[in-house]
Structure 1
Amino acid sequence: MAIAELTLSSKNYSSWSLRGWLLCRLAGLDVREKMVALDNPDNRAELLLLSPSVLVPRLTHEGASVWDTLAIAEYLHELYPDAGMYPADRIGRAHCRSVSGEIHSGFTNLRSALPMNLKVRHARFPIFSGAKPDIERVETIWEECLERYGGPWLFGDRPTVADAMFAPVAQRFLTYAVPLSQRAAQYCQTINAWPLMREWIEAARAEPDELIELETEF
Structure 2
Amino acid sequence: MKALGIPFADRIEPFLKPVNWEEFRAFSPSGQVPVLLDGDRTIWDSLGITLYLAERHKGVWPKDEAARAFAMCAVTEMHGGFSALRNQCPMNVGVRVEQEGQDAALTKDVARIRELFEEGLERFGGPWLGGPDFTAVDAFFAPVAYRVRTFGLDVGKGQAWVDHVIAHPAMQEWEQAALAETWREQSHEAEIGAAGRITEDFRQ
Q: Output the TM-score relative to the length of structure 1.
A: 0.77
**1:61 and 1:145 mapped to 2: Cα distance?**
32
Query: What letter is aligned with 1:161?
Result: A
Distance change in 2, residues 1:61/1:27 (3 Å)? farther
Q: Which residue of 2 aligns with 1:128?
A: 102
**1:111 and 1:38 mapped to 2: Cα distance?**
17
Contact 2:90 2:191 in 1 (8 A): no
Question: Sequence identity of aligned pairs in percent?
Answer: 35
Deviations 1:52-88 (A, max 9, x none): x5430000012211011111011111111x2x11111
1:160 correspondence with 2:124: no
> Among 126, 131, 138, which residue is 2:113 paired with?
138
Deviation larger for 99-108 or 61-70: 61-70
SS at match of 1:34: coil
Contact 1:139 1:184 in 2 (8 A): yes
TM-superposed deviation, 1:121: 1.8
Contact 1:27 1:76 in 2 (8 A): no
**1:112 and 1:127 mapped to 2: Cα distance?**
14
Q: Which residue of 2 aligns with 1:191?
A: 165
Q: Which residue of 1 aligns with 2:47?
A: 70
Distance change in 2, residues 1:152/1:131 (3 Å)? same
Contact 1:54 1:68 in 2 (8 A): no
TM-superposed deviation, 1:125: 2.2
Query: What letter is aligned with 1:91?
Result: A
SS at match of 1:188: helix
Query: What letter is aligned with 2:41?
Result: A
Q: Which residue of 2 aligns with 1:26?
A: 3
> Among 21, 32, 36, which residue is 2:13 paired with?
36
Deviation larger for 205-214 or 145-154: 205-214
Query: What letter is aligned with 2:139?
Result: A
Deviations 1:115-172 (A, max 9, x none): 11111123x3234312010000010011111000001110111111000000111110
RMSD in angstroms over aligned alpha carbons?
A: 2.0
1:180 correspondence with 2:155: yes
Query: What letter is aligned with 1:31?
Result: F
Unaligned runs of 5+ in 2: 23-29, 193-204
**1:195 and 1:69 mapped to 2: Cα distance?**
21
Deviation larger for 150-159 or 131-140: 150-159
Contact 1:54 1:67 in 2 (8 A): no
SS at match of 1:166: helix
Q: Which residue of 2 aligns with 1:56?
A: 33
How many residues end up aligned between the 2 structures? 184
Q: Between Structure 1 and Structure 2, which shows a larger proportion of helix residues?
A: 1
**2:95 and 2:17 mapped to 1: Cα distance?**
25
TM-superposed deviation, 1:44: 7.4
